[in-house]
């Protein structure tokens, strides 16, 4: 089954064509600056050179149309009839979706109902669905939710200390994100360990510009660091992570910003970018500056590392122990430097880092030494493959 995976952002569209049975990647690419001047599409068919060109994309429907044209022009498929299904990444499913679902009008309506929880993402996701339905009539489509994997969290983990009516009436609770990645990586760890997924305790550290940690116990997520939105939890590239809510009021009073202005600061001007004095939100730049002895970079990276260590310790306590820790996503997969800083602060777990193995970048690898009480892995995430597999499982 050939599955086209679509991931619509507010002004972008990522896409991959995957053979869900063989797990072979056939085609991938990106549409950028949709609805903005100088929009462009880039794509690569397996075995071919990368194509990149500037082309007008006033809306997502145009972008989807260009993707479908590129599929045939590149030779990835002889005709669109070869595409058996489309898998759509949906950021927020609220409490309505605990797993992936086949898309119909009822599902689209439910996604719209929770759009206020992800106003930048869900509307764009729906536009992508509508465009595909119009341009590919009759092709079955599946919605795969970032929040679904975390719906197994118990009430004690997802409720905030607010009036309970805020939850029952407005759905204010912790939902968590990066769920497709956390699900894929935790299952992969069990596979590597040769253990039953329902009998292993794993902490997944999805570390990138957006970052989150999850606790997966016996095949179920029991806690995760992101909350109502992706702003909660770890210090990230430009996001503040968890803060005292009173900080918002104080910034308003001190700077004259309104709530929207403060939220912009928390989402786009904070994190390691803000802590480093605006050196960069890219951990590669910060790593270089850290090694050179830049005090601002050292401060930012150390704060980030401390937060990751703290969540790992908390989740080990919440699960009553941990068998494996997995690093994934851009920083987790590629920065041996950051991984080493984190593991070296996990003395409680009696882990000895394999310095040579830790040099790995973007490859599946055990990076702890034999005899360590907890096995530590690098596991590249593959959210698109996970979406394709979910789509295949629902439709096969």
List active site positions.
146
- Scanning the chain, the segments in alpha helix (DSSP H) are 60-73, 105-113, 122-135, 155-158, 164-170, 179-193, 246-255, 259-268, 271-275, 283-291, 295-319, 329-334, 336-343, 383-395
Non-local CB neighbours of 359 within 8 Å, separated by 6+ positions: 336
DSSP state of 148: G
**CB contact set of 29 (below 8 Å; sequence gap of 6+):** 14, 15, 16, 41, 42, 43, 44, 67, 70
d(CA 158, CA 360): 35
Q: State how far the Cα of 300 lies from the Cα of 20, in Å rounded to an integer.
A: 41
- CA–CA distance, 371 with 377 (Å, rounded to integer): 14
Beta carbons of 186 and 214 less than 8 angstroms apart: yes
Phi, psi for residue 288 in degrees, rounded to 5:
-60, -45
- 185, 326 Cβ separation under 8 angstroms: yes
3-state class percentages of the chain: helix first, strand second, coil last, to nearest 5: 45, 20, 40
Q: From CA 24, how far away is CA 26, in angstroms rounded?
A: 6
DSSP state of 396: -
Residue 330 makes CB contacts below 8 A (sequence gap 6+) with 207, 208, 209, 283
Q: How distant, in Å, are the alpha carbons of 12, 224, 242, 392 from that of 121?
A: 11, 20, 21, 24
**Cα–Cα distance, 27 to 74 (Å, whole number):** 9
């Amino acid at each position: 089954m050939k599955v086209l995976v679509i991931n619509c952002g507010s002004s972008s569209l990522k896409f991959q064509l995957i053979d869900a049975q063989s797990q072979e990647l056939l085609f991938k690419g990106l549409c950028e600056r949709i609805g903005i001047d100088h929009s462009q599409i880039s794509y690569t068919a397996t075995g071919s050179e990368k194509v990149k060109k500037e082309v007008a994309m006033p809306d997502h429907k145009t972008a989807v149309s260009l993707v479908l044209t590129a599929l045939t022009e590149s030779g990835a498929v002889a005709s669109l009839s070869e595409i058996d299904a489309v898998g759509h990444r949906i950021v927020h499913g609220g409490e309505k979706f605990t797993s992936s679902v086949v898309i119909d009008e009822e599902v689209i309506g439910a996604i719209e109902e929770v759009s206020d929880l992800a106003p930048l993402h869900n509307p764009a996701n729906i536009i992508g669905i509508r465009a595909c339905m119009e341009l590919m009539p009759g092709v079955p489509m599946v919605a795969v939710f970032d929040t679904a994997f975390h719906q197994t969290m118990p009430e004690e983990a997802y409720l905030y200390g607010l009036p309970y009516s805020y939850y029952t009436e407005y759905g204010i609770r912790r939902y968590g994100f990066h769920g497709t990645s956390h699900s894929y990586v935790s299952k992969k760890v069990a596979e590597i360990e040769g253990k039953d997924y329902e009998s292993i305790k794993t902490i997944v550290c999805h570390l990138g510009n957006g970052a989150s940690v999850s606790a997966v116990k016996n095949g179920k997520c029991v806690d995760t660091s992101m909350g109502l939105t992706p702003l909660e939890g770890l210090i990230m590239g430009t996001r503040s992570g968890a803060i005292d809510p009173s900080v918002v009021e104080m910034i308003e009073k001190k700077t004259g910003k309104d709530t929207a202005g403060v939220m912009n600061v928390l989402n786009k001007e904070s994190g390691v970018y803000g802590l480093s004095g605006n050196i960069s939100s890219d951990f590669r730049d910060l790593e270089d500056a850290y090694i050179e002895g830049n005090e601002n970079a050292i401060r930012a990276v150390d704060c980030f590392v401390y937060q990751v260590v703290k969540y790992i310790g908390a989740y080990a306590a919440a699960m009553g122990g941990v068998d494996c820790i997995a690093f994934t996503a851009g920083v987790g997969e590629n920065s041996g430097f950051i991984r080493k800083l984190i593991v070296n602060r996990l003395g409680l777990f009696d882990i000895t880092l394999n310095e040579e193995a830790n040099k790995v970048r973007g490859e599946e690898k055990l990076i702890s030494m034999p005899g360590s009480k907890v096995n530590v892995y690098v596991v590249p995430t593959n959210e698109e493959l996970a979406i394709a597999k979910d789509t295949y499982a629902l439709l096969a």
